[in-house]
Structure 1
Amino acid sequence: MALAPRFSVLVSGYTFFESPRWRDDHLWLSDFYTHQIIRVDRQGRVEKIADVPQQPSGMGWLPDGRLLVVSMRDRKVLRREADGRLVTHADLSSVANGHVNDMVVDAQGRAYVGNFGFDLMGGGAPHTATLARVDPDGSVHAAAEGLYFPNGSMITPDGQTLIVAETMGNRISAFDIQPDGQLGPRRDWAAWGPLPAMTDVPSVLGALKAAPDGATLDAEGAVWFADAVGHRVVRMAPGGEILESISTGDQGAFACTLGGPDGRTLFICVAPDFLEHARQAAREAAIWTTTVNVPGAGRP
């Protein structure tokens, strides 16, 4: 693995990192194929927080500080109790047609959860997906339909807007959040190409000019996203102007977040590719860091 210019390595030797979250002066991470949640301090020291046998992904916290984490394969959101036990918070099987993936939790404890929409790793035909809303009591609701692989999700600092990266849609979408958590109509936050025909995965990937995966907001209202097909991280303004693009060289970039003491450290989840069989068999995932000018804002 060649370290691209301007980056430093915080931690390495894992399978496939996703859903980085900065909280309590630590970076929290899901590692897909060791099935664990870890947190890492600024010196790179690792502490294991929990085991999620059905593959962890998105994370967030309830107002009382309890952790919520996606359990991908059984399509659940789990809750970590004060004593460290993981219990089922919600079962998304009624909404999700594929592995559940990224998630953002709002100030009221409502979780907005994406899913693949189809069996990506098993070779299924691509299909749009329904974004789920999980209320604090664990009830599950369809929040938005017809999304093209809803992935990295963000909530603006005022709590009024949900922004969702659609990895297979050549777009990032936005929704007004109603007081009860329901979403208003979808609108383009940014779009840079036509919606792909959902025929087969290679054709869809070939039609993407960028594939926004894990993403994060900054204090100027721009989105940083990992481009899952472009070996880069991108800072994009509302409307789609690319403000900055940083190459990750020979490594793929699959998620990112802003954190650190001043919110200006960009943490990037890198790995050679996202192929399940290859990542299960290797320990090539890492977190790369670099400093940017504008700090993070909003959620996650």
Structure 2
Amino acid sequence: MPALRVLPLPGSGPEDVVLASDGRVLTGIGDGAILAVDPTDGTVEQIAHTGGRPLGLHAGADGTLLICDSERGLLRLDKPHGQIEVLVDEVDGQPLAFASNVVAADDGTIYFSASTRRYSLDNYMGDFFEHSGTGRLLRRTPDGQVETLLDGLQFANGVVLAPDGSCVLVAETAAYRVTRYRLTGEQAGTTDELVQNLPGFPDNMGLGSDGLIWVTLVSPRNPLLDKLLPLPGVLRKAVWAIPAGLQPKPARTAWVQAFDFTGALVHDLQRAGDEYAMVTGVAERDGTLYLGSLTEPAIAVTEVPA
């Protein structure tokens, strides 16, 4: 990965990044603020506050912003400094927990993920140890109906909709894969693995202006977690019970990959995490990459190598 340019923020944890029509980078940080950042001079403007913890975002061409808030559910901001509306805060009569990432089709259909039914953002590693398989991919139709497309996902995370609407993709962080749900054609409603056996933990994803699927890798695969995966659940849970200082920690790195819609790897960009690490958000436009992080107090900018 080429050198990074860092844009400081008035808070930490810009977990996802998306690009608004005016060229600014939109992100949500740990204190609940939604920020718009001018990448040319680093100017930061707070345009909303969710009252929770914003994660994945989707910027609409009409100026609206969809927000997955891990505490409040799926939200919509009608315009900068406008009103926030709760679109989904329960599914099948149960509270929507850990809404993670979101994308919308031109007709207003919304696809979004919920990472786990069992753990909060503060304790997300518990789901990796337990391997609960309680993540979901959900769809909200324009009339407000919500249905579960996929259940039993291993920490459902980033979501990408194919440009032709033929499929929706969801990253399964704890399974090291990108899963495809087909929306059209004879195979509509079927699922397969577009990308599998990734070398790290996939988080948010973004569809680039280059037509590629950009995938963040938060950290390389952890040998201990790989060894725990085939063991009975009670043994995996035992690791979660040991002191935090002895539990596996994500390695510091800045890492993104890009794939085409056949699943072929096109870019593999990584650099040491000395100045910026734990990349969880990525957006690409015209060869420029914008990166977000669950922990850093900044957005990072770099270029796609020729």
Per-residue Cα deviation, 1:117-139 (whole angstroms, up to 9, x for no partner): 13053446432212111122322
* Kept after mapping to 2: 8 A contact 1:269/1:285: no
Select which of 129, 132, 135 maps to 1:127: 132
Change (3 A) 1:235 1:177: same
Separation in structure 2 between the aligned mates of residue 249 and residue 13 of structure 1, nearest angstrom: 21
Quote the residue 2:298 is aligned against: 286
Q: 1:7-156 residue pairs with structure 2 within 5 A?
A: 7-23=4-20, 24-31=22-29, 33-42=30-39, 43-61=41-59, 64-74=62-72, 76-81=73-78, 84-94=82-92, 98-117=97-116, 118-120=118-120, 121-122=122-123, 123=126, 125-128=130-133, 129-156=135-162
User: Comparing 38-47 with 285-294, which one deviates more in the overlay?
Assistant: 285-294
Q: Which amino acid aligns with 2:301?
A: T
Secondary structure of the 1:104 match is strand
Per-residue Cα deviation, 1:50-86 (whole angstroms, up to 9, x for no partner): 1011211222255754322122113x21222357111
Q: 1:198-237 residue pairs with structure 2 within 5 A?
A: 209-218=199-208, 221-230=211-220, 231=253, 232-237=255-260
Quote the residue 1:265 is aligned against: 288
Secondary structure of the 2:270 match is strand
Secondary structure of the 1:141 match is strand
Q: Which amino acid aligns with 2:100?
A: N
1:184 aligns with 2:189: yes
TM-score, L = length of structure 2? 0.75
Separation in structure 1 between the aligned mates of residue 208 and residue 87 of structure 2, nearest angstrom: 30
Instruction: Give the Å deviation of 1:165.
Output: 1.4
Instruction: Give the Å deviation of 1:88.
Output: 1.6
Change (3 A) 1:135 1:61: farther
Matched residue count: 258
List alignment gaps of at least 5 residues for structure 2.
221-252
Per-residue Cα deviation, 1:147-180 (whole angstroms, up to 9, x for no partner): 211211111222222121111111111122249x
Quote the residue 1:197 is aligned against: none
Instruction: Give the Å deviation of 1:114.
Output: 0.9
1:243 aligns with 2:267: yes
Separation in structure 1 between the aligned mates of residue 38 and residue 32 of structure 2, nearest angstrom: 20
Per-residue Cα deviation, 1:153-211 (whole angstroms, up to 9, x for no partner): 111222222121111111111122249xx962111111116xxxxxxxxxxxxxxx311
RMSD: 2.7
Per-residue Cα deviation, 1:230-251 (whole angstroms, up to 9, x for no partner): 3222234543546323224232
Separation in structure 1 between the aligned mates of residue 140 and residue 69 of structure 2, nearest angstrom: 14
Separation in structure 2 between the aligned mates of residue 81 and residue 226 of structure 1, nearest angstrom: 28
List alignment gaps of at least 5 residues for structure 1.
194-208, 295-300
TM-score, L = length of structure 1? 0.76
Quote the residue 1:175 is aligned against: 181
Quote the residue 1:298 is aligned against: none
Instruction: Give the Å deviation of 1:105.
Output: 1.1
* Kept after mapping to 2: 8 A contact 1:143/1:183: no
Instruction: Give the Å deviation of 1:254.
Output: 1.4
* Kept after mapping to 1: 8 A contact 2:131/2:174: no
Secondary structure of the 2:31 match is coil
Separation in structure 2 between the aligned mates of residue 188 and residue 115 of structure 1, nearest angstrom: 19
Separation in structure 1 between the aligned mates of residue 60 and residue 292 of structure 2, nearest angstrom: 24
Instruction: Give the Å deviation of 1:11.
Output: 3.0
Per-residue Cα deviation, 1:22-50 (whole angstroms, up to 9, x for no partner): 1221111111x210111111221111111
Secondary structure of the 2:174 match is coil
